[in-house]
Structure 1
Amino acid sequence: MFARTIAAAFLVALGVSTTTLLAQLATPTPDSVRVTVSMNADGTRTTYEFDSPHHRAVATTTTKEGKTVGKIRYVIDDAGRFVSGEVYGPDDQLRFKTLYKYDDTGKLTQEIQLGPDDAVRNKIVYAYDKTGRQTGYSVYDAAGKLIRQTPGVAPRPTTPPSKRK
């Protein structure tokens, strides 16, 4: 489920509809790289390559014709979670970076998005209920001002991202 959440965030960042995935195909390879291909409702294809032994992963979205729409290069930890990601556009130019933070139980609690210059753009804080089920999220701008949130989620107090490293 975690990988699907991150994959959906990647597709949304690239402007791809995630409402329907037409097919998924997982292909093991002999060199310990796991490849998964998702066919998206709009005809694009997203290929995920997980190289756990080297703590990295790559997600590449292409058009029906095979032209690259975007790519994310991830660093993953020993538990298989994303630590950071760099999002590239179709021209292979870095658009932004994302840092991922987790609580002691392994739940994703924050995503901090940085520009190519490492300046904070925004922060996403995830909310969970008492059973550990994700209930929503809040988005803060670089100054720590709440700019968007899912209904029913109380904003969490935050130190402005510009004051943190």
Structure 2
Amino acid sequence: MRAAHADRERTVDVLKAAYAEGRITADEYEHRLTSAHQAATYGQLSVLVADLPSGPMVAPFGAPIPATFMPLPPPLLPPPVPPRNGLATASAILGSLTLFTGGLTGLPAVITGHIARSQIRRTKEDGDGLAILGLVFGWLSIAGWALFFLLVVMMASSGPH
């Protein structure tokens, strides 16, 4: 990375301090001072002061700073989705079919719905809403058939005497 005039001046200040403390000779000081004014990059400047107690030049703004190792947190993953209960799906399909079959699939929808809910409670599977949907349509179908037979029996018993 290219060095700015201010960076060269900081290097010269480090060299002046080293010369004043007796760490470098007058010849070394002159040679390094000339090299500092001619330096074009941070690398060239840091070589001039690397052996002095002030240490190498400060890294330029935005340069990567070595850091201590810090492990990254594990990635946030969504929790695993439990499998869907097959009988719950069957119950929902059978319950929905009661609308098209005249309620003939209502009893199988209720049976599979209750078995599915029992399995879901035990295995923690997904699909409770589907099982409830099948149960609702199934029980409505059974209630409809029960009402139909009740009306048929009442009509037959109150028929013409």
TM-score strictly above 0.5: no
User: Which bracket does the TM-score occupy, shorter chain normalised?
Assistant: under 0.3
Question: Which one has a larger percent helix, Structure 1 or Structure 2?
Answer: 2
Q: Which has the higher contact order (CA 8 A, sep 6+)?
A: 2
